[in-house]
C-alpha cells in the first residue's frame, strides 16, 4: 500500500469532530422534540428523574394508605 492511498478516518477525539458530534447529538435529542417530550425527558432521566420517582412513590404510598384507612374506618365502624 502506498501511504497516499491509505484512508485515515477522523479521530472522535479531535476538537472539530467532538464539537460537531456534540452539536449533532444535542440537535438530534432536543431539536425536533415537542415541548412536552422535552419536559418529560428532563424530569424522567438522571438525578432529577430518580428524585421524582422517589417523591412519586412516597406520595402514592400515602394516598393508598389514606384510602385504606378511610375505607377501613367505614367498613368496620361500630353500629
Query: Do residues 32 and 52 share a domain?
Result: no
Question: Does residue 54 belong to any structural domain of this protein?
Answer: yes
**Largest interatomic CA distance in the chain:** 99
Q: What is the count of structural domains for the chain?
A: 2
C-alpha cell at position 23: 452539536
H-run or E-run covering 17:
helix 15-26
pLDDT 10s digits, 55-74: 999 999 999 999 999 999 99
Which ranges of the chain have pLDDT less than 70?
A: 1-32
Show the domain range for 58: 46-79
Q: What is the pLDDT of residue 7?
A: 60
pTM of the model: 0.51
Nearby residues of 41 by Cβ (< 8 Å), 6 or more positions away: 29, 30, 33
Residue 56: its pLDDT value, please?
A: 96
Amino acid at each position: 500500500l502506498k501511504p497516499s492511498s491509505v484512508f485515515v478516518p477522523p479521530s472522535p477525539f479531535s476538537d472539530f469532530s467532538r464539537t460537531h458530534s456534540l452539536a449533532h447529538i444535542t440537535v438530534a435529542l432536543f431539536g425536533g422534540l415537542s415541548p412536552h417530550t422535552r419536559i418529560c425527558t428532563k424530569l424522567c432521566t438522571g438525578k432529577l428523574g430518580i428524585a421524582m420517582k422517589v417523591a412519586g412513590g412516597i406520595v402514592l404510598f400515602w394516598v393508598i394508605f389514606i384510602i385504606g384507612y378511610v375505607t377501613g374506618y367505614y367498613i368496620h365502624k361500630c353500629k
